[in-house]
Amino acid sequence: MWYNVRLESDERVIQCRIVGKFRLDDVPLTNPVAVGDQVEIMPEGEDRGLIKKILPRRNYVARQSPRSLHDLHLLAANVDQAVIVVTVINPTLKPGFIDRFLLMTEKHEIPVTIVFNKGDLYDDEALQTYVYMRSVYKKIGYGVMLCSALENKGTDDLKTLLQGKTTLMSGQSGVGKSSLINAIQPQLDLRTGEISDYSGKGQHTTTFAEMHPLDFGGYLIDTPGIKSLSFNTMDKHNVAHSFREFFKLSEACKFGGACLHRNEPGCAVRSALDAGEISPLRYNNYLSLLEEVEAQNYWERKKF
């Protein structure tokens, strides 16, 4: 497998190969080198090289491989922040996807901004949905923006957010991520796609993750559109601790950090839910993720 490596000395990009197998937390990797990794290479001619060492990562974003149940796929490494692009309509918003994405970033405390794109298409009902989602996520410390790539609305604020930082930008297919990137950096001229009239879903326009330098400062890591997110290295407590407002409240739970916030007595999270202090949307997404992780772990135990 070959990788494009940007040299620190003169900014040239050369192709490098890697030899050997790599793992992360004892889990096999489908891509041992992630976009954003810093590596040491040994030259092999003028424009080729061999990756000899992957330097320690200060953070990374990883998911279960969509092709292999037992492998991890690295989306990016050494990022300053992440941006998840969604839209309320065209295609229809999947609120659970936002929390699945946050499950990947919370472990390393990577700041996340949720960008709602295609604002030019929102009717009153869609705007009400956006306002509700903004209130849910801003309350717990995530950034939220409303943008329109078509009308260049909100794009100046997005450029300000990205300036001088290494940013992972991701989202489901069809949300207009490539159009949004083209709006803030036209010379990249990324390919864009249409929403299928039959399925209401987007088509992949980015086929592999790539890092782009930004002319106003910083780097943008663009990932292929994500259809779904699953997690093969999570356990129940990983999920519980990754919902930041639940984790904060768990100190007051009768069973502390061991509480899963279901039906345990003296659960501070359930009390806060009943009092309207935490979002029912987030709580229901949490229960779904918990059940999914439990089912997967059960399957693993049965198999092995």
Instruction: Please give the residue that has the higher pLDDT: either 239 or 297.
Output: 239
Question: pLDDT by residue (tens digit) across 189-241?
Answer: 776 544 433 334 444 343 468 899 999 999 999 988 776 666 666 788 989 99
How many whole angstroms from its chain centre is CA 68?
19
State the chain's maximal CA–CA distance in angstroms. 66
Q: For CATH 3.40.50.300, list the domain ranges present in the chain.
A: 61-222
At 171, give phi and psi (nearest 5°): 170, 170
Domain 61-222 falls in which CATH fold? Rossmann fold (3.40.50)
CATH class name, domain 236-303: mainly alpha
The whole-number average pLDDT for the span 83-88 is 96
% of residues, the chain, pLDDT over 90: 62
For the chain, how many residues are written?
Answer: 304
Q: Where in the chain is the domain with CATH 1.10.40.50?
A: 236-303
Residue bearing the bigger pLDDT, 233 or 87:
87
* Rounded Cα distance, 220 and 73, in Å: 19
Question: Mean per-residue pLDDT for 279-286?
Answer: 97
Distance CA 196, CA 205 (A): 13
Per-residue pLDDT of 31-73, as tens digits, reads 888 999 999 999 998 889 999 989 999 999 988 777 767 778 8
pTM of the predicted model as reported, rounded to 2 decimal places: 0.88
